[in-house]
């Protein structure tokens, strides 16, 4: 009876362990399937060509569900009205525009999953945004801009979303890349999506057209460009410049010439008073965005220049104050020395005692001096003369004419007689 109970218990435990591991494997498989729905950064910019094989992989190793061989790109027909074109391959990604029934799109990739998503080339209605500060308008070409920095974000645009909230980055534009400008929204330019930008449509609303040639693909792409050009013709054209705005640009050009002339001078020599007044006057009446931005930058640079000049002037004033104070000290020292030892001509002789040491400053052959240190280890005076090296480090008595050195701020004795002191004389 006990053996039967043990056997039954062992069988129950085995079934529990088997069920536990089966559950773990099922959860792991579900997690892997869910993870496969996440778009990798590289997927949004895969090449526009590739093939899907029966083994379920493409030339870019993308899993597919179809058992047929598919060549990309191909033309697909929109099956119903109001089909959203989205910024990414999932419903939570914000919509960019809508497609109409019977419209053709160019599909460059199909991303399988619970809902298949087709990556499509830009269509009529798709736009993109780029920060205006990173784009310079191209001279002589209306509606053409040139990117002036590297790795500038090009965002998927939407009529229902402000550019600063358009989080989906389609590509990174590079320095020198040209973009077609459709208009401006705040600090962003609305542009035609550059080559390399793609959008997404749920595959259930598309049907692949068979036997489509490359010529037909090119014709569809050209038609999209023509639609954009025709539809946005007014935006692509530069607005007629009013006489008032034209006069602002003319004045701005004159001020830029004057400004460059002032900036070409040494900082301390620049006179900002006139140019600052004229730029401020233009800033008050400027209505054109470009003029406003330019004069704001000029005023900021002028303010920085004036602040730098002020710092230099303060530094020069401090240096002058220090020089005046040093002169006053020198005059006072000379006066004290004259009172103590009014020796100004060569016939006035003094006698000083101390330890003779080399000078750390006046130690060249041209200006060789020695210092005489008192009992407190302070410099009593400088000593000049011949044959003094042998007495270095010794206590001596030096007699000779004295003068005052403003640079060293001490007396200089020209040694006429130098006597080494013995122990009793030192005391």
- Are 296 and 404 found together in one domain? no
The answer to whether residue 63 is domain-embedded is no
* Cis preceding-peptide flag for 182 (omega within 30 of 0): no
- Are 86 and 166 found together in one domain? yes
- Are 148 and 174 found together in one domain? yes
- Are 263 and 305 found together in one domain? yes
The answer to whether residue 230 is domain-embedded is yes
CA distances (Å), origin 118, targets 50, 67, 205, 207: 14, 17, 10, 11
- Are 204 and 130 found together in one domain? yes
- Are 205 and 327 found together in one domain? no
State the 10-residue block means of pLDDT for the chain, 427 residues long. Answer: 46 48 44 39 40 35 42 90 93 91 92 88 92 86 86 91 89 94 87 93 91 78 68 52 81 87 88 92 86 87 91 86 79 65 58 90 80 88 89 92 78 90 63
- Are 306 and 379 found together in one domain? no
- Are 259 and 327 found together in one domain? yes
DSSP code, position 204? G
Report pLDDT for 404.
80
- Are 192 and 92 found together in one domain? yes
As a three-state string, the secondary structure of 30-99 is HHHHHHCCCCCCCHHHCCCCEEECCCCCECCCCCCCCCCCEEECEEEEECCCCEEEECCCCCCCCEEEEE
The answer to whether residue 61 is domain-embedded is no
The answer to whether residue 42 is domain-embedded is no
The answer to whether residue 129 is domain-embedded is yes
- Are 282 and 301 found together in one domain? yes
Range of the domain at 3: 1-35
CATH of the domain at 367: 2.40.50.140
Report pLDDT for 356.
93
The answer to whether residue 394 is domain-embedded is yes
- Residue 319 phi/psi, 5-degree rounding, is -65, -40
Tokens of 390: 């042998």
Tokens of 125: 């209605």
pLDDT in tens, 357-408: 998 888 777 778 899 998 888 888 999 988 888 899 999 999 999 888 777 6
- Are 171 and 89 found together in one domain? yes
How many structural domains is the chain composed of? Answer: 4
pLDDT in tens, 37-85: 334 443 444 433 333 333 333 333 333 344 344 688 889 999 999 999 9
């Amino acid at each position: 009876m006990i053996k039967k109970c043990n056997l039954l218990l062992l069988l129950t435990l085995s079934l529990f362990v088997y069920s536990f591991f089966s559950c773990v494997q099922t959860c792991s498989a579900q997690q892997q399937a869910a993870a496969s729905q996440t778009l990798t950064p590289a997927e949004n910019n895969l090449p526009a060509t590739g093939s899907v094989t029966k083994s379920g992989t493409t030339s870019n190793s993308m899993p597919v569900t179809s058992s047929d061989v598919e060549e990309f790109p191909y033309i697909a027909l929109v099956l119903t009205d109001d089909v959203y074109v989205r910024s990414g391959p999932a419903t939570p990604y914000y919509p960019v525009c809508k497609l109409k029934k019977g419209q053709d799109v160019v599909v460059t990739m199909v991303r399988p999953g619970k809902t298949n998503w087709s990556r499509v080339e830009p269509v009529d209605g798709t736009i993109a945004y780029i920060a205006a500060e990173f784009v310079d308008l191209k001279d002589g070409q209306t509606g053409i801009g040139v990117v002036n920095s590297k790795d500038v974000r090009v965002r998927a645009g939407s009529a229902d979303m402000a550019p600063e909230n358009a989080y989906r980055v389609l590509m990174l534009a590079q320095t020198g890349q040209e973009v077609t400008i459709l208009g401006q929204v705040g600090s962003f330019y609305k542009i035609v999506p550059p080559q390399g930008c793609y959008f997404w449509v749920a595959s259930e609303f598309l049907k692949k057209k068979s036997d489509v040639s490359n010529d037909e693909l090119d014709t569809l792409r050209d038609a999209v460009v023509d639609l954009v050009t025709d539809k946005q013709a007014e935006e692509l054209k530069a607005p007629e410049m009013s006489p008032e705005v034209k006069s602002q640009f003319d004045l701005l050009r004159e001020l830029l010439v004057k400004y460059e002339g002032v900036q070409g001078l040494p900082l301390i020599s620049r006179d900002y008073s006139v140019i600052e007044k004229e730029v401020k006057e233009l800033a008050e009446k400027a209505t054109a965005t470009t003029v406003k931005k330019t004069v704001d930058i000029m005023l900021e640079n002028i303010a920085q220049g004036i602040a730098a000049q002020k710092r230099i002037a303060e530094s020069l004033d401090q240096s002058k104050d220090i020089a005046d104070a040093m002169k006053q000290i020198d005059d006072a020292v000379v006066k004290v020395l004259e009172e103590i030892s009014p020796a100004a001509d060569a016939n006035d002789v003094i006698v000083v005692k101390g330890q003779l040491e080399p000078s750390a400053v006046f130690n060249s052959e041209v200006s060789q001096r020695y210092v005489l240190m008192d009992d407190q280890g302070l410099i009593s005076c400088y000593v000049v003369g011949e044959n003094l090296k042998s007495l270095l480090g010794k206590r001596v008595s030096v007699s000779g004419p004295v003068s005052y050195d403003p640079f060293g701020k001490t007396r200089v004795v020209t040694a006429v007689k130098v006597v080494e002191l013995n122990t009793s004389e030192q005391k």
